[in-house]
Structure 1
Amino acid sequence: MCGRYAATLPPEMMVELFNLLNKIDFPPRYNIAPTQPIAVIWEQQGRRTIQLVRWGFVPNWVKDPREFSLLINARAETMAEKPSFRDAVRHGRCIIPASGYYEWMKGKDGVRRPYYITMADGSPMVFAGLYSNWSGPSGEEVDTACIVTVEPNLEISSIYDRMPAMLTGEAVELWLNTREVDVKAATQLALPLPPGSLRYHPVGKAIGRADAEGPELIRPLSDEELAAEEVKPVKPKKVASGGGQLDLF
C-alpha cells in the first residue's frame, strides 16, 4: 500500500516535465496523507491539465461519500474487474507526481520503522492513478483519486508486499491516453520497476503523524538516532476516520 508520500516539485517544473496547459500553486509537501488534496494530471481530448483532488477514490455511482469506504489504493491486478474502479480504468486514468513515498518495515525485533523511498537516479516518481468525478443530488461535485499498486520489486520486497505502480518514458503517455489505449493495454503498463530503480533510507517516526510536515521528515537517520528511537518505540498515530492510512485490499 502507499499511504504517505511527498511531492516537492515546483509548479513550473511540473508544467515543463508533463507538458501541461495550466499551473497550480501547490507548496512542497513532505507528508501527504489520505483525504488531503493531491495534485494529479489527466488528459481529456488531448489536453493535459493538473488539478487538485481529494486522495480517496469515490466512484460516481456512490450516493453518499460519507458512508463509502476510503479507497486510497487500487490493485493493478484486479482494478479492471472491481466495480469501484473499472470505469476509471477505461476513462479516468491519471498520473500523480511525487518525490518519494514512505513505507513501514517490521524488523526482526517486531518493531516497525519508516523508510523513505525514492528513485535511485533522483528523478521524480510518476504514480499511475485513477480519478473520478462525484456529483451529489444538490449539484455539488468532488474530484477524487487513488494510487494504483503492484507487487513489489526486489528492493521493496524486503520492506513491504506492495508498491505504487510507477510509470516511466512512453508508459506515461500511453497511460494518460484513454482515447486510444484500451483497458487491457493500460493494465499491462502498471508493473513493478526493474531492480535497481529505487533506493531507500530510514527516517524518523514523526512521519506517522498526519500533522507532521517539513523537509526534516525525509532526512536519513544516523545509527545513533536509530538507536535512540528504539529505546522507546512509537507506533504510527491512528487518525480519526477521514484522515488515516487504510488498506482496503
Structure 2
Amino acid sequence: MCGRYVLTLPSEAIQALLNTRNLEESVPRYNIAPTQPVLAVWEQAGRREAKLARWGLVPGWVKDPRDFPLIINARAESMAQKPAFRDALKHQRCAVPATGYYEWQTDAQGRKRPHFIAFRDGRPMIMAGLYATWTGPEGEEIDSLALVTVPANADLAGIHHRMPAFIEGETADLWLDVRNVRAAEAEKVIRPAPEGSLIAHPVSTRVNSAHNDGPDLIAPAIEDVPAPSGKDGQLDLF
C-alpha cells in the first residue's frame, strides 16, 4: 500500500519526464496525503496533459461521493475484476510523479515506524495510477485517482508486503496509451521494482500527521521508538 509520498520535482522537470504538452505548477511537497489534490498525467486525444486530481478514486457511476469509501490504492492482481477499477484500467490510466514515498513498518509490539523509500540512484519515480471523472447534478466535475500497488520486492518485504507499481520509459508509454494499448496488455507492464533498485531508511513520526511538511520529514530519524497510533497516527487518516 502507499499512503503518503513526496514530490519535489519542478514543473519543467515533470514536463520533460512525462512529455506533457502543458505545465501544471508544482511546489515541493514532503507529505502528500489522501484526499489532497495531487499532480497526475494522462492522455486526452492522444496528447499528454498534466492535471490535478483528488487522491481517492470516485468512479463516475457513484451517486454521492460523500457516501463512497476512500479508495487510494488499486491492487494490480484484482483491478481488472473490481467494478471501481475495471473501466479505468481500459480507458483512464494515469501516471503520478514522485520523489519517494513513505511506508510504515509494524514491530512486534504493534508500533508503527515510518520509512522513506526512494530509488537508490536518486532518479524520479513514476507511479502507475487509475483515474476517473465524476460529474455532479449541477455539471460539476471532480477528477480523482488511485495508485496501483503490487507485492513488495525483496528490498521492502521486511517493511511492508505491498509497494507502488513504478513505470518509466517504454512501460510508461504503454500504460498511458489508452487508445492503442488494451487493458490486458497494459497489465503486463505492472510488476514490482527490480530488486536492489530501492533504498529505505526510518524517518520521524512527525510524518504521521498530514499537517506537517518540509524536508526534515525525509531525513533519517534520530529517535528509536515510534509514537503509538492515535490522534496523529497513520491509521487515523484512513
Instruction: Say whether the fold is shared (TM-score over 0.5).
Output: yes
216, 223, 226: which is aligned to 2:223?
Answer: 226
Q: d(CA) in 2 for partners of 1:204 and 1:2?
A: 17
Q: Which residue of 1 aligns with 2:23?
A: 23
What is the aligned length?
A: 237
What aligned pairs does 1:107-118 form with structure 2 within 5 A after superposition? 107-118=107-118
Whichever residue aligns with residue 7 of structure 1, its letter is: L
Specify whether residues 195 and 239 from structure 1 end up closer, same or farther in structure 2 by C-alpha distance, changes over 3 A only. Answer: closer
Partner of 1:62: 62
Quote the offset at 1:141 in angstroms. Answer: 0.7
* Aligned residue in 1 for 2:148: 148
Find the aligned partners of 1:115 and 1:81 in 2 and give their Cα distance: 32
Aligned partner of 1:37: which letter? P
Name the counterpart of 2:131.
131
Q: Any residues of structure 2 matched to 1:1-249 within 5 Å, and which?
A: 1-221=1-221, 225-227=222-224, 230=225, 233-235=227-229, 237-238=232-233, 245-246=237-238
Deviation of 1:28 (Å): 0.7
Give distance in 2, aligned partners of 1:15 and 1:36: 21
Residues 208 and 234 in structure 2, CA contact (< 8 A), matched pair in contact too: no
Say which is worse superposed, 105-114 or 77-86, in terms of deviation.
105-114
Q: Secondary structure at the match of 1:122?
A: coil
- Structure 2: give runs of 5+ residues left out of the alignment: none
- Return the offset for 1:109: 4.5
Offset, 1:194: 1.0
Q: CA RMSD in A?
A: 1.5
Give the Cα–Cα distance (whole angstroms) in 2 for the partners of residues 12 and 27 of structure 1.
11
Q: CA deviation at 1:107?
A: 2.5
Indicate conservation of the 8 Å contact 1:203/1:220, yes or no. Answer: yes
Partner deviation per Cα, 1:41-90 (whole Å, 9 max, x = no partner): 00122211100110000000000000000110000011011011100000
1:36 maps to amino acid: Q
Please say if residues 105 and 159 of structure 1, whose CA atoms lie closer than 8 Å, have aligned partners that are also in contact: yes
Give 5+ residue unaligned stretches, structure 1. none
Deviation at 1:184, TM superposition (A): 0.7
Aligned counterparts of 1:198 and 1:43: Cα–Cα separation in 2: 28
Letter in 2 for 1:149: T
Moved over 6 A (4+): none
| 2-structure distance, mates of 1:173, 1:197 | 21
Which amino acid is 1:69 matched to?
P
Alignment partner of 2:223: what SS? Answer: helix
- The Cα shift of 1:108 comes to 3.7
TM-score, normalised with respect to structure 2 = 0.95
Q: What's the % identity of the aligned pairs?
A: 49
Equivalent-residue separation in structure 1 for 2:17 and 2:142 (angstroms): 27
TM-score under structure 1 normalisation? Answer: 0.91
